[in-house]
Structure 1
Amino acid sequence: MRASPADIESICLSLPEVELGISWGDRPTYKVPRGAKGRGFLLYRAPGKTAIDPVSGDMFTDLLVIQVADEMTKRTLVQDPQSPFFTIDHFNGYNAVLVQESRLGELERDQLVEIIADAWATKAPPRLVREYFANR
Protein backbone atom coordinates (compact mmCIF):
# COMPACT_ATOMS: atom_id res chain seq x y z
CA MET A 1 0.00 0.00 0.00
CA ARG A 2 1.29 3.46 -0.89
CA ALA A 3 1.83 6.12 1.78
CA SER A 4 -0.23 9.29 1.92
CA PRO A 5 -0.24 12.52 3.93
CA ALA A 6 -3.08 11.09 6.02
CA ASP A 7 -0.68 8.39 7.28
CA ILE A 8 1.56 10.88 9.08
CA GLU A 9 -0.75 11.40 12.04
CA SER A 10 -1.66 7.74 12.49
CA ILE A 11 1.97 6.59 12.27
CA CYS A 12 3.30 9.26 14.63
CA LEU A 13 0.56 8.79 17.23
CA SER A 14 0.99 5.01 17.15
CA LEU A 15 4.48 5.45 18.61
CA PRO A 16 4.90 5.49 22.41
CA GLU A 17 4.63 8.78 24.29
CA VAL A 18 4.06 10.95 21.19
CA GLU A 19 2.04 14.14 21.11
CA LEU A 20 1.41 16.80 18.50
CA GLY A 21 2.79 20.09 19.75
CA ILE A 22 4.39 23.27 18.44
CA SER A 23 8.00 24.20 17.76
CA TRP A 24 9.94 26.72 15.67
CA GLY A 25 7.48 29.35 16.85
CA ASP A 26 4.21 28.05 15.48
CA ARG A 27 4.92 24.87 13.53
CA PRO A 28 2.97 21.69 14.24
CA THR A 29 5.52 19.14 15.45
CA TYR A 30 5.29 15.56 16.63
CA LYS A 31 7.25 15.26 19.87
CA VAL A 32 8.42 12.58 22.27
CA PRO A 33 7.96 12.20 25.22
CA ARG A 34 4.70 13.96 25.98
CA GLY A 35 4.96 17.10 28.07
CA ALA A 36 7.50 19.83 28.62
CA LYS A 37 10.49 17.60 27.84
CA GLY A 38 9.15 16.61 24.43
CA ARG A 39 11.60 16.80 21.53
CA GLY A 40 10.47 17.14 17.94
CA PHE A 41 11.12 14.39 15.40
CA LEU A 42 8.73 15.41 12.59
CA LEU A 43 7.80 19.00 11.80
CA TYR A 44 5.48 20.62 9.27
CA ARG A 45 7.79 23.29 7.80
CA ALA A 46 6.49 26.73 6.89
CA PRO A 47 7.14 27.95 3.34
CA GLY A 48 10.35 29.96 3.22
CA LYS A 49 12.94 31.48 0.93
CA THR A 50 15.44 28.74 1.78
CA ALA A 51 13.26 25.98 0.27
CA ILE A 52 12.47 26.75 -3.37
CA ASP A 53 11.18 24.27 -5.94
CA PRO A 54 13.96 24.13 -8.57
CA VAL A 55 11.42 23.51 -11.35
CA SER A 56 8.78 26.17 -10.62
CA GLY A 57 10.86 28.64 -8.60
CA ASP A 58 8.08 28.77 -5.99
CA MET A 59 8.48 28.12 -2.28
CA PHE A 60 7.54 24.60 -1.25
CA THR A 61 4.26 24.74 0.68
CA ASP A 62 3.94 21.15 1.88
CA LEU A 63 7.28 20.21 3.42
CA LEU A 64 7.88 17.84 6.28
CA VAL A 65 11.16 17.87 8.19
CA ILE A 66 11.98 14.38 9.44
CA GLN A 67 14.86 13.65 11.81
CA VAL A 68 17.39 11.00 10.85
CA ALA A 69 19.97 9.23 12.99
CA ASP A 70 23.09 10.59 11.35
CA GLU A 71 24.70 12.15 8.28
CA MET A 72 25.14 8.77 6.59
CA THR A 73 21.41 8.00 6.85
CA LYS A 74 20.63 11.44 5.51
CA ARG A 75 22.95 10.99 2.53
CA THR A 76 21.51 7.56 1.80
CA LEU A 77 17.97 8.96 1.65
CA VAL A 78 18.73 12.08 -0.37
CA GLN A 79 21.16 10.52 -2.87
CA ASP A 80 18.82 7.72 -3.94
CA PRO A 81 17.35 8.90 -7.27
CA GLN A 82 14.15 6.96 -6.54
CA SER A 83 13.66 8.69 -3.18
CA PRO A 84 11.40 11.71 -2.68
CA PHE A 85 13.64 12.89 0.17
CA PHE A 86 15.98 15.84 -0.27
CA THR A 87 17.82 18.49 1.67
CA ILE A 88 18.62 22.18 1.30
CA ASP A 89 21.60 24.30 2.32
CA HIS A 90 19.65 25.50 5.37
CA PHE A 91 19.90 21.94 6.75
CA ASN A 92 23.63 21.43 6.18
CA GLY A 93 25.06 19.90 9.34
CA TYR A 94 21.59 19.02 10.64
CA ASN A 95 20.43 15.39 10.74
CA ALA A 96 17.10 15.76 8.98
CA VAL A 97 15.62 15.27 5.54
CA LEU A 98 12.79 17.04 3.77
CA VAL A 99 9.93 15.54 1.81
CA GLN A 100 6.88 17.06 0.19
CA GLU A 101 3.63 15.65 1.51
CA SER A 102 2.46 15.50 -2.11
CA ARG A 103 5.27 13.01 -2.88
CA LEU A 104 4.61 10.58 -0.01
CA GLY A 105 2.75 8.35 -2.48
CA GLU A 106 6.13 7.47 -3.98
CA LEU A 107 6.80 5.46 -0.81
CA GLU A 108 5.23 2.30 0.46
CA ARG A 109 3.44 2.91 3.77
CA ASP A 110 5.77 0.39 5.45
CA GLN A 111 8.78 2.46 4.31
CA LEU A 112 7.23 5.58 5.81
CA VAL A 113 6.52 3.74 9.07
CA GLU A 114 10.18 2.69 9.27
CA ILE A 115 11.49 6.20 8.53
CA ILE A 116 9.18 7.82 11.08
CA ALA A 117 9.93 5.18 13.74
CA ASP A 118 13.64 5.79 13.21
CA ALA A 119 13.04 9.55 13.49
CA TRP A 120 11.13 9.00 16.73
CA ALA A 121 14.02 6.88 18.05
CA THR A 122 16.46 9.79 17.58
CA LYS A 123 14.54 11.84 20.16
CA ALA A 124 12.82 9.30 22.44
CA PRO A 125 14.28 8.34 25.81
CA PRO A 126 16.55 5.27 25.45
CA ARG A 127 14.33 3.09 27.65
CA LEU A 128 11.33 3.80 25.43
CA VAL A 129 13.35 3.02 22.29
CA ARG A 130 14.56 -0.30 23.70
CA GLU A 131 11.04 -1.32 24.73
CA TYR A 132 9.50 -0.31 21.41
CA PHE A 133 11.98 -2.13 19.20
CA ALA A 134 12.04 -5.21 21.48
CA ASN A 135 8.27 -5.56 21.03
CA ARG A 136 8.22 -5.07 17.25
Structure 2
Amino acid sequence: MSDRPATVDDVHRIAAGMPHVTRIEGPKAGNAIYQVGGKSFVFFRTPRPDAVDPDTGEKYPDVIVIWVESEADKLALTQDPSSPFFTTPHFDGHPSVLVRASRLTEVAVSEVRELIQDAWLSRASKRRAQQWLSRDG
Protein backbone atom coordinates (compact mmCIF):
# COMPACT_ATOMS: atom_id res chain seq x y z
CA MET A 1 0.00 0.00 0.00
CA SER A 2 1.51 3.31 -1.02
CA ASP A 3 1.60 6.17 1.42
CA ARG A 4 -0.34 9.20 0.30
CA PRO A 5 -0.65 12.79 1.47
CA ALA A 6 -2.73 13.27 4.60
CA THR A 7 -6.09 15.01 4.74
CA VAL A 8 -8.28 16.50 7.44
CA ASP A 9 -10.52 13.44 7.13
CA ASP A 10 -7.49 11.29 8.01
CA VAL A 11 -6.91 13.30 11.18
CA HIS A 12 -10.54 12.81 12.23
CA ARG A 13 -10.58 9.11 11.29
CA ILE A 14 -7.31 8.26 13.05
CA ALA A 15 -8.07 10.27 16.20
CA ALA A 16 -11.60 8.89 16.47
CA GLY A 17 -10.32 5.35 15.86
CA MET A 18 -8.07 5.25 18.90
CA PRO A 19 -9.51 3.38 21.90
CA HIS A 20 -11.55 5.11 24.61
CA VAL A 21 -11.78 8.34 22.60
CA THR A 22 -14.48 10.91 23.04
CA ARG A 23 -15.05 13.65 20.50
CA ILE A 24 -16.47 16.82 21.94
CA GLU A 25 -17.37 20.07 20.26
CA GLY A 26 -15.65 23.27 21.34
CA PRO A 27 -17.96 25.62 23.26
CA LYS A 28 -17.50 28.65 20.98
CA ALA A 29 -17.28 27.36 17.43
CA GLY A 30 -18.12 23.67 17.61
CA ASN A 31 -14.56 22.73 16.66
CA ALA A 32 -13.65 19.06 17.12
CA ILE A 33 -11.68 18.09 20.22
CA TYR A 34 -10.52 14.49 20.68
CA GLN A 35 -9.96 13.30 24.22
CA VAL A 36 -8.91 10.15 26.01
CA GLY A 37 -9.82 9.93 29.68
CA GLY A 38 -10.92 13.57 29.60
CA LYS A 39 -7.53 14.74 28.27
CA SER A 40 -7.30 16.37 24.85
CA PHE A 41 -4.76 14.93 22.43
CA VAL A 42 -5.87 16.45 19.10
CA PHE A 43 -8.02 19.50 18.61
CA PHE A 44 -9.07 21.79 15.85
CA ARG A 45 -8.34 25.28 17.05
CA THR A 46 -10.46 28.34 16.46
CA PRO A 47 -8.68 31.29 14.78
CA ARG A 48 -6.46 33.10 17.28
CA PRO A 49 -4.19 36.14 17.08
CA ASP A 50 -0.99 34.14 17.72
CA ALA A 51 -1.24 32.15 14.45
CA VAL A 52 -1.54 34.55 11.53
CA ASP A 53 -0.56 34.81 7.90
CA PRO A 54 2.70 36.81 7.87
CA ASP A 55 1.69 38.61 4.67
CA THR A 56 -1.91 39.53 5.41
CA GLY A 57 -2.11 39.39 9.22
CA GLU A 58 -5.24 37.23 8.89
CA LYS A 59 -5.74 34.63 11.60
CA TYR A 60 -5.27 31.08 10.34
CA PRO A 61 -8.70 29.45 10.32
CA ASP A 62 -7.42 25.86 10.05
CA VAL A 63 -4.95 25.15 12.86
CA ILE A 64 -4.84 21.65 14.35
CA VAL A 65 -3.09 21.08 17.69
CA ILE A 66 -1.46 17.69 18.25
CA TRP A 67 0.13 16.71 21.56
CA VAL A 68 3.69 15.40 21.55
CA GLU A 69 5.54 13.40 24.15
CA SER A 70 8.41 15.80 24.81
CA GLU A 71 10.01 19.13 24.02
CA ALA A 72 12.57 17.21 21.94
CA ASP A 73 9.77 15.74 19.80
CA LYS A 74 8.27 19.21 19.40
CA LEU A 75 11.61 20.68 18.37
CA ALA A 76 12.26 17.87 15.88
CA LEU A 77 8.97 18.69 14.14
CA THR A 78 9.19 22.49 14.24
CA GLN A 79 12.85 23.46 13.86
CA ASP A 80 12.86 23.27 10.03
CA PRO A 81 11.19 26.48 8.78
CA SER A 82 9.89 24.64 5.71
CA SER A 83 8.08 22.07 7.88
CA PRO A 84 4.28 22.30 7.95
CA PHE A 85 4.51 21.89 11.74
CA PHE A 86 4.99 25.01 13.82
CA THR A 87 4.47 26.51 17.22
CA THR A 88 3.76 29.98 18.57
CA PRO A 89 4.80 31.75 21.78
CA HIS A 90 1.35 30.92 23.17
CA PHE A 91 2.44 27.26 23.13
CA ASP A 92 5.89 27.78 24.68
CA GLY A 93 6.36 25.06 27.26
CA HIS A 94 3.27 23.20 26.03
CA PRO A 95 3.88 19.68 24.67
CA SER A 96 2.17 20.16 21.33
CA VAL A 97 2.73 21.14 17.73
CA LEU A 98 0.48 23.02 15.36
CA VAL A 99 -0.22 22.26 11.72
CA ARG A 100 -2.53 24.00 9.29
CA ALA A 101 -5.10 21.73 7.67
CA SER A 102 -4.21 23.37 4.36
CA ARG A 103 -0.65 22.02 4.67
CA LEU A 104 -1.50 18.44 5.69
CA THR A 105 -0.86 17.30 2.13
CA GLU A 106 2.83 17.90 2.85
CA VAL A 107 2.71 15.07 5.39
CA ALA A 108 2.17 11.38 4.65
CA VAL A 109 -0.78 9.57 6.21
CA SER A 110 1.66 7.22 7.96
CA GLU A 111 3.37 10.17 9.69
CA VAL A 112 0.04 11.69 10.74
CA ARG A 113 -1.05 8.27 12.07
CA GLU A 114 2.17 7.97 14.08
CA LEU A 115 1.82 11.51 15.46
CA ILE A 116 -1.78 10.95 16.52
CA GLN A 117 -1.01 7.56 18.05
CA ASP A 118 1.89 9.13 19.98
CA ALA A 119 -0.38 12.00 21.03
CA TRP A 120 -2.94 9.50 22.32
CA LEU A 121 -0.22 7.55 24.16
CA SER A 122 1.06 10.75 25.80
CA ARG A 123 -2.40 11.49 27.23
CA ALA A 124 -3.91 8.04 27.91
CA SER A 125 -3.61 6.37 31.29
CA LYS A 126 -0.65 4.03 31.69
CA ARG A 127 -3.02 1.05 31.81
CA ARG A 128 -4.82 2.00 28.59
CA ALA A 129 -1.52 2.77 26.86
CA GLN A 130 -0.05 -0.60 27.87
CA GLN A 131 -3.19 -2.44 26.74
CA TRP A 132 -3.13 -0.72 23.35
CA LEU A 133 0.61 -1.24 22.86
CA SER A 134 0.39 -4.92 23.73
CA ARG A 135 -2.54 -5.42 21.37
CA ASP A 136 -1.92 -2.98 18.49
CA GLY A 137 1.36 -1.19 18.98
TM-score, length basis structure 1: 0.89
SS at match of 2:20: coil
The 5-angstrom pairing of residues 86-105 of structure 1 reads 86-105=86-105
Separation in 1, partners of 2:9, 2:55:
26
Aligned-residue Cα RMSD (Å) equals 1.4
10, 26, 29: which one pairs with 2:13? 10
The 5-angstrom pairing of residues 67-82 of structure 1 reads 67-82=67-82
Partner of 2:51: 51
**Superposition deviation, residue 67 in structure 1:** 0.6
TM-score, length basis structure 2: 0.89
SS at match of 2:97: strand
**Superposition deviation, residue 49 in structure 1:** 1.2
* Structure 2 letter corresponding to 1:30: Y
Separation in 2, partners of 1:124, 1:69:
12
CA deviations 1:31-58 (Å, max 9, x no partner) are 003xxxx110111111111211223321
Partner of 2:65: 65
* Structure 1 letter corresponding to 2:130: R
SS at match of 1:118: helix
**Superposition deviation, residue 4 in structure 1:** 0.6
**Superposition deviation, residue 22 in structure 1:** 3.8
Separation in 1, partners of 2:33, 2:113:
17
**Superposition deviation, residue 82 in structure 1:** 4.7
Separation in 2, partners of 1:5, 1:28:
11
Partner of 1:42: 42
Separation in 1, partners of 2:94, 2:75:
11
Following superposition, which runs of at least 4 residues in structure 1 exceed 3 angstroms of deviation? none
Query: Percent of aligned positions with the same letter in both sequences?
Result: 36
The alignment of Structure 1 onto Structure 2 pairs a total of residues equal to: 131
* Structure 2 letter corresponding to 1:13: A
Structure 2 gaps, min length 5: none
Structure 1 gaps, min length 5: none
**Superposition deviation, residue 66 in structure 1:** 0.8
Partner of 2:127: 127
Separation in 2, partners of 1:8, 1:14:
10
**Superposition deviation, residue 13 in structure 1:** 1.4
